């Protein structure tokens, strides 16, 4: 959540009046992109203003009558969705870099080099995005832009999205203790126990395989055994 000093204003003009709200810029963009973000994570100040910088508040009674609702949260939602977000040049630049990083990170987590079946380092993805001169739009979520960027990268580097199913054999001394690591990286498809030892089949994004193996080995001092059993 941004402080008031870092907050930006969303302004909705309707019925000959302006209504303004102080918001966290990044969360406001996520909200406008219909991502899952709570209203309280967007709002920096729980007031609707006629002139935010002057501190001129709109009365709740007036707003509820104007927007034809008994719920002030519905008024906030109307302003957030349909209002105009006012960003400074520096805020736009910073948010553009953050959005570009988010897109690159999603691709690096999910993609591999199909020639070697190994992940691409994040820096390689970022360099290829620069070379391809992909256009990143801050008003759209990172997830919405991944497909477009991936298409632009394919002529430059061998790349594809893939998931792996990995069989994991966890020795008895660590059985049941790696639950959080397994669920951090992927979806457990199957789990069996034999003689106190744990056997797990997990599906993970291919780009995370090196980090996954490193985390498991670090937690078990190299005692865990893994094997890729299926590419998807």
- What are the mean pLDDT values of the chain's consecutive 10-residue runs (232 residues total)? 76 91 88 84 92 89 90 92 87 88 93 90 96 90 90 95 91 87 91 90 90 91 88 66
From 192, 196, 116, 215, select the one nearest 159 (Cα to Cα): 116
Residue 95's pLDDT is what? Answer: 85
Where in 149-220 does DSSP place strands (E)?
160-161, 163-170, 187-194, 197-205
Say if pTM beats, i.e. exceeds, 0.95.
no
Residue 126 falls within a domain, yes or no?
yes
Residue 3 falls within a domain, yes or no?
no
Domain that holds residue 32: 8-86
Q: Number of folded domains in the chain? A: 3
* Together in a domain, 169 and 225: yes
* Together in a domain, 168 and 155: no
Q: Which positions ≥6 away from 172 have C-beta within 8 Å?
A: 195, 196, 197
Q: Do residues 85 and 8 touch, judged by C-beta distance below 8 A?
A: yes
CATH number for the domain harbouring residue 199 = 3.30.70.240
Name the domain boundary from 86, 102, 134.
Answer: 86
Residue 117's pLDDT is what? Answer: 85
Residue 2 falls within a domain, yes or no?
no
* Together in a domain, 76 and 108: no
CATH number for the domain harbouring residue 156 = 1.10.10.900
């Amino acid at each position: 959540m941004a402080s008031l000093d870092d907050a930006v204003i969303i302004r909705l003009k309707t019925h000959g009046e302006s209504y303004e709200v102080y918001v966290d810029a990044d969360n406001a963009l996520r909200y406008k992109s219909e991502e899952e973000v709570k209203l309280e994570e967007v709002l920096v100040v729980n007031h609707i203003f006629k002139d935010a910088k002057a501190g001129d508040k709109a009365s709740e009674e007036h707003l509820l009558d104007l927007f034809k609702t008994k719920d002030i949260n519905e008024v906030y939602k109307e302003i957030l969705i349909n209002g105009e977000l006012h960003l400074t040049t520096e805020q736009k630049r910073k948010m553009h870099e953050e959005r570009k990083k988010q897109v690159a990170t999603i691709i690096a987590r999910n993609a591999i080099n199909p020639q070697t079946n190994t992940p691409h380092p994040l820096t390689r993805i970022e360099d290829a995005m620069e070379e391809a001169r992909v256009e990143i739009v801050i008003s759209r979520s990172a997830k919405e832009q991944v497909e477009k960027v991936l298409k632009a990268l394919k002529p430059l580097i061998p790349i594809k999205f893939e998931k792996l199913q990995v069989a994991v054999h966890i020795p008895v001394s660590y059985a049941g203790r790696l639950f959080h690591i397994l669920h951090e990286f992927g979806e457990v498809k199957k789990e069996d126990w034999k003689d106190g030892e744990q056997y797990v089949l997990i599906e993970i994004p291919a780009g995370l395989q090196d980090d996954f193996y490193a985390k498991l080995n670090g937690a078990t001092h190299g005692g865990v055994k893994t094997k890729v059993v299926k590419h998807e």
